[in-house]
Amino acid sequence: MGSYSQVTVADYPIFSAKNSFFDEIINLLFLPEDFISERRRNSSKNEIVWGDTYTNDDNDFVFSGYRQNVKVCKERLEIFGMTAETAKKEFPIAKKISKEEGLYDFPLSKINYHQYLEEISDIIRTNDHNYDQLYTNFRDALIAGELGIFGQSLKSQIYSILSVAPEDAIVEYDLSDVINNGWINEREARNIAFQKILVLTEGRTDVEFIGGSIKKLYPHLFPYFHFIDFNEYKVESNASALVKLVTSLAAVNITHPIIVLFDNDTTGLMEMKRLMQVQMPSNIKVLKLPDLKLAKNYPTLGPTGLKKMNINGLACGIEMYLGLDILIDNNGYIPIHWRAFNDKENKYQGEISDKKLIQEKFRAKLKSNDPSNFEDMELILTSIFSAFQN
């Protein structure tokens, strides 16, 4: 008799493997800190997997494996491009592959993605299972096929399953049996390999504040991102230098996932426009800081005095996204100060007054336990998290 590893979503077992495990599933859903080793009662073992073997067994065993909730696992799949729309688009392709292979004796072509989700949702909810591995009808085929159909990508299949489970439901990968019986060692099980997403920005404070915000608000996603280290490697920090760097990376056909983020100001948009004249590979996504509602009517200070105007595309550097609590002082909103005139764009370039004071206030905010007043920063994070969702 062999040993088995087992994934469960909301206590429903899928992706069983004999004497081994699926490292791709671990790479997609978990981080090293999700690995746990703890004593549990034998009676807690999943009844669908083990039947009534351990129902009244009060002895203990050591559970070794990964544990996280559905919401976090979904978000991790999404930052690498998986969405409900993508899974829906892939479903007809999978049906076509299944038909060509002649795997099913029932009309799979009549079943749409919505019906598929309803079926797997009901299977999970009712804990329906069948040990005979039947393929005579759609429901039994799903139970036998790990709640998926032949031809689905693993990402699409897992995302579809997670999408019908409650967000707070638990996803576990139980490796206890294969570890305890010597088929794999714990070090091997903990070896998670994934490509980090490289985020390239115009300057040091962009890296500090965006990276710090992800770490504070989304710690379960932070390890998936890597930010350029301007200080360690003395990298030039401005929009023009960013164009040169990205152009070089594209020229050498680097396959790493990369997000390029320009400021939402005159210089940033001009350089972004210049970069977009170069054919970018699909692994490089070029973005700008998003437009702000606040910036549509913001006080500016120039030769004609104080004037409110729309500064989107003219003066929205990272400081404008740090929160109203940071941008307001005793005199109201800290104004934008118009600096140089850009002859190529026929526009002024502006930046916030008291920039150093604002930056220090945000550093203190990142260190606090208060997660509020990050709404405008969330706009940036959302654009980063969804960059690869086409």
**What would the mean pLDDT of 30-36 be, rounded to a whole number?**
96
Label the pairing between strands 4-9 and 170-174: antiparallel
* 151 torsion bin: left (phi>0), alpha (psi -120 to 50), beta (else): left
**What would the mean pLDDT of 129-150 be, rounded to a whole number?**
91
205 is in which domain, residue-wise?
Answer: 197-385
What DSSP letter does each residue of 257-294 carry, written as one string? -EEEEE-EEHHHHHHHHHHTTS---TTEEEEEPPP-SG
200-209, 241-250, 251-260, 339-348: the lowest-pLDDT one:
339-348
Per-residue confidence at 343, pLDDT binned at 50, 70, 90? Answer: low
Determine, yes or no, domain membership for 328. yes
276 and 228 in one domain? yes
Look at residue 382 in the predicted model and tell me its pLDDT: 97
Determine, yes or no, domain membership for 4. yes
Determine, yes or no, domain membership for 93. yes
Site of tokens 């795997």: 103
Helix (H), strand (E) at residue 356: helix 355-367
243 and 153 in one domain? no
Question: For residue 209, with 0-12 CB atoms within 10 Å meaning exposed, 13-18 middle and 19 or more buried, which class applies?
Answer: buried
Q: At what angle do helices 154-163 and 70-79 cross, to 10 degrees?
A: 140
Q: Are 354 and 312 in contact (CB under 8 A)?
A: no
164 and 128 in one domain? yes
205 and 190 in one domain? no
248 and 271 in one domain? yes
| pLDDT at residue 186 greater than cutoff 80 | yes
Determine, yes or no, domain membership for 390. no
Look at residue 347 in the predicted model and tell me its pLDDT: 79
- The partner residues of 174 in beta bridges, in order of sequence, read 6, 65
Determine, yes or no, domain membership for 52. yes
Q: How many domains does the chain have?
A: 2
Determine, yes or no, domain membership for 260. yes
Look at residue 247 in the predicted model and tell me its pLDDT: 94
| pLDDT at residue 103 greater than cutoff 90 | no
* 112 torsion bin: left (phi>0), alpha (psi -120 to 50), beta (else): beta
Q: Residues 331, 335, 338, CA angle at the centre, nearest 5°?
A: 150
Determine, yes or no, domain membership for 261. yes
Per-residue confidence at 3, pLDDT binned at 50, 70, 90? Answer: very high
327 and 220 in one domain? yes
Q: What is the pLDDT of residues 310-319, one digit of tens each?
A: 999 999 999 9
120 and 48 in one domain? yes
370 and 248 in one domain? yes
* 176 torsion bin: left (phi>0), alpha (psi -120 to 50), beta (else): alpha
Cα separation values, 275 from 39, 85, 228, 282, 349, Å? 55, 29, 18, 14, 19
Distance between CA atoms of residues 209 and 215, nearest Å: 10
Domain-terminating residue out of 127, 161, 194: 194
* Cβ partners under 8 Å of residue 243, min gap 6: 271, 274, 275
145 and 23 in one domain? yes
Domain-terminating residue out of 163, 178, 194: 194
Three-class DSSP category at 345: coil
Domain-terminating residue out of 194, 215, 248: 194
| pLDDT at residue 339 greater than cutoff 90 | no
Distance between CA atoms of residues 160 and 374, nearest Å: 30
- Chain centre to alpha carbon of residue 279: 25
**What would the mean pLDDT of 341-370 be, rounded to a whole number?**
89
255 and 343 in one domain? yes
In percent, how much of the chain has pLDDT > 70?
99
Look at residue 133 in the predicted model and tell me its pLDDT: 82
Helix ranges restricted to H, 80-137: 84-101, 113-126
117 and 38 in one domain? yes
Q: pTM here?
A: 0.91
Distance between CA atoms of residues 334 and 223, nearest Å: 34
285 and 239 in one domain? yes
Determine, yes or no, domain membership for 323. yes
Look at residue 346 in the predicted model and tell me its pLDDT: 74
Cα separation values, 276 from 227, 272, 286, 287, Å? 21, 6, 8, 10
| pLDDT at residue 29 greater than cutoff 90 | yes
